[in-house]
């Protein structure tokens, strides 16, 4: 039997449900997509990869509910270039603009919610140009 994970392709703005936990979301719209995380819940986790690089005038955005925060590290990864890491201690969203803040093909990261309602993020963020934090 396959041990497959659920894969959901996002081409439009979406609010995730708790029952989506454990899924792999493929961001696939070069005009950008806004993804809203559900209200905090211990153990909820979501994986994201970029299937289509977002164009520089748009962005992929992952945002929390008002009371929740994002904490963690994303490594902005440029091809054949030294990496630069960015740390979030209390951010509301991850914004990837298709260049300096990432969102290119190559991006892959996980968000896991802990006991305190913090979304912990770790992963790689395909970027170009002069890297800038994707956390806002």
Coil, strand or helix at 21: coil
Minimum Å gap between C-beta 55 and another protein is 16
26 in contact with another protein (CB under 8 A): yes
**DSSP-assigned letters across all residues of 29-48:** -TT-EEEEPPSP-TT-EEEE
- Nearest of 78, 64, 59 to residue 129 by alpha carbon: 78
126 in contact with another protein (CB under 8 A): yes
Cα–Cα distance between 40 and 99 in angstroms, integer?
30
**One residue of 64, 77, 91, 133 binding another protein per CB under 8 A:** 77
Minimum Å gap between C-beta 102 and another protein is 10
Cα–Cα distance between 61 and 32 in angstroms, integer?
8
Cα–Cα distance between 104 and 107 in angstroms, integer?
6
107 in contact with another protein (CB under 8 A): yes
Q: What b/e sequence results for 55-70 when a residue is b if at least 16 CB atoms lie within 10 Å of its CB, and e otherwise?
A: eeebbbbbbbeeebbb
Minimum Å gap between C-beta 126 and another protein is 5
90 in contact with another protein (CB under 8 A): no
**One residue of 104, 113, 118, 121 binding another protein per CB under 8 A:** 104
105 in contact with another protein (CB under 8 A): yes
Residues forming the site for another protein (CB under 8 A):
1-7, 9, 24, 26, 47, 49, 51, 75, 77-83, 104-109, 123-126
């Amino acid at each position: 039997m396959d041990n497959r994970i659920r894969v959901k392709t996002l081409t439009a703005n979406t609010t995730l449900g708790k029952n989506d936990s454990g899924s792999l979301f493929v961001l696939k719209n070069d005009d950008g997509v806004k993804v809203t995380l559900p209200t905090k819940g211990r153990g909820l986790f979501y994986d994201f990869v970029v299937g289509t690089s977002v164009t520089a005038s748009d962005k992929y955005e992952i945002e929390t509910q008002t009371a929740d925060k994002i904490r963690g590290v994303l490594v902005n990864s440029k091809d054949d270039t030294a990496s630069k890491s960015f740390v979030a201690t209390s951010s509301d969203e991850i914004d990837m603009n298709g260049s300096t803040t990432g969102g290119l093909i190559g991006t892959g990261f996980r968000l896991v919610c802990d006991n305190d309602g913090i979304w912990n993020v770790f992963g790689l963020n395909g970027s170009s140009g002069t890297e800038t934090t994707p956390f806002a």
